[in-house]
């Protein structure tokens, strides 16, 4: 098993209000089979041993689905490997002596909580604004009364795969949440269940998205390139179309 040394410059910031700075650490025994977060675990165990505060970072499932983890590695959201969250990024993609810069997602809508942790509750509020089908529990028709073509179901699933990690916002030059918002609008908008609220959904979610301080889309494609779930830019086009249609047809 190969092991090697890494040099890390980690953004350290005690709290949302405190000033932050980069602190340099050496991790001497990195195994190629570790995940990136396991490498940070090893660093943290060493820091605690020395009586220093460990690096705070968000993580939970560590299998790339909960969307809790994520930070910038050398300016790339979730690191250099496409379609991968940091918890699934393994150290075999790095080399001996490499120097890495770890920074939190940076956006006004994602304020830093501590070190590499940010507050992404803005995403929840965007969903709360309209990212649902308004049905209560109970009294719904049989699941098979509504035939949905396989291709439509598949496309809806492509969009629904979003894990809400925030990499799209972090990587976007304009801190836009268009990929995130567009993914939900597309998921529901592609399905018959989502039709009755399609216009209002887009209108409310887009309005909330901007109220949260997310920026505009300039179609650079950076979000798509770092999205761990390969959500496509076409969801943004769909969001725009639904929003514009809603505004054109709005009666109030």
75-134 positions binding another protein, by CB under 8 A: 75-76, 80, 84, 88, 90, 92, 101, 103, 106-109, 113-114, 117, 119-121, 123-124, 127-129, 131-134
Q: Estimate the share of the chain in helix, then strand, then coil, as percent rounded to the nearest 5.
A: 40, 15, 45
CA distance 26 to 176: 34
Minimum Å gap between C-beta 235 and another protein is 10
Do residues 30 and 6 touch, judged by C-beta distance below 8 A? yes
Among positions 10-39, residues that touch another protein (CB under 8 A) are 14-15, 22, 31-35, 37-39
User: Which of 36, 71, 175, 231 contacts another protein by CB under 8 A?
Assistant: 175
**5 is a contact residue toward another protein (CB under 8 A):** no
Q: CA 137 → CA 133, 134, 143, 146, 227, distances in Å?
A: 11, 10, 14, 18, 33
CA distance 61 to 165: 12
**221 is a contact residue toward another protein (CB under 8 A):** yes
Do residues 117 and 11 touch, judged by C-beta distance below 8 A? no
- The token pair at 209 is 């998205």
CA distance 223 to 176: 9
CB nearer to another protein: give 97 or 192.
192
Among positions 130-169, residues that touch another protein (CB under 8 A) are 131-138, 140-144, 146-150, 153, 155-157, 160-161, 163-164
**53 is a contact residue toward another protein (CB under 8 A):** yes
**191 is a contact residue toward another protein (CB under 8 A):** yes
**42 is a contact residue toward another protein (CB under 8 A):** yes
User: Which of 4, 25, 54, 200 contacts another protein by CB under 8 A?
Assistant: 54
Q: Return the H-helix or E-strand segment holding 123.
A: helix 121-128
Minimum Å gap between C-beta 241 and another protein is 3
């Amino acid at each position: 098993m190969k092991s090697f040394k890494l040099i890390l410059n980690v953004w350290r910031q005690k709290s949302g209000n405190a000033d932050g700075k980069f602190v340099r650490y050496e991790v001497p025994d990195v195994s190629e089979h570790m995940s990136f977060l396991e490498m940070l675990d090893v660093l943290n165990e060493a820091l605690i041993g020395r009586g220093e505060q460990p690096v705070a970072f968000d993580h939970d499932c560590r299998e790339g689905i909960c969307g809790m983890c994520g930070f910038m590695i050398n300016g790339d959201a979730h690191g250099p490997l496409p379609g991968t969250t940091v918890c699934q990024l393994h150290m075999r993609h790095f080399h001996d002596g490499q120097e890495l810069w770890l920074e939190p997602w940076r956006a006004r809508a994602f304020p830093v909580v501590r070190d590499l942790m940010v507050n992404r509750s803005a995403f929840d509020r965007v969903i709360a604004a309209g990212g649902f089908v308004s049905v209560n529990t109970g009294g719904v028709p049989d699941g098979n009364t509504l035939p949905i073509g396989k291709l439509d179901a598949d496309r809806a699933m492509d969009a629904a795969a979003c894990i809400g990690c925030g990499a799209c916002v972090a990587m976007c030059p304009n801190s836009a949440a268009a990929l995130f918002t567009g993914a939900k609008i597309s998921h529901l908008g592609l399905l018959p269940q989502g039709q009755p609220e399609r216009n209002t959904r887009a209108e409310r979610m887009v309005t909330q998205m901007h109220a949260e301080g997310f920026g505009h889309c300039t179609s650079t494609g950076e979000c798509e390139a770092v999205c761990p779930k390969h959500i496509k830019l076409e969801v943004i086009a769909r969001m725009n179309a639904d929003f514009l249609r809603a505004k054109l047809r709005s009666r109030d």
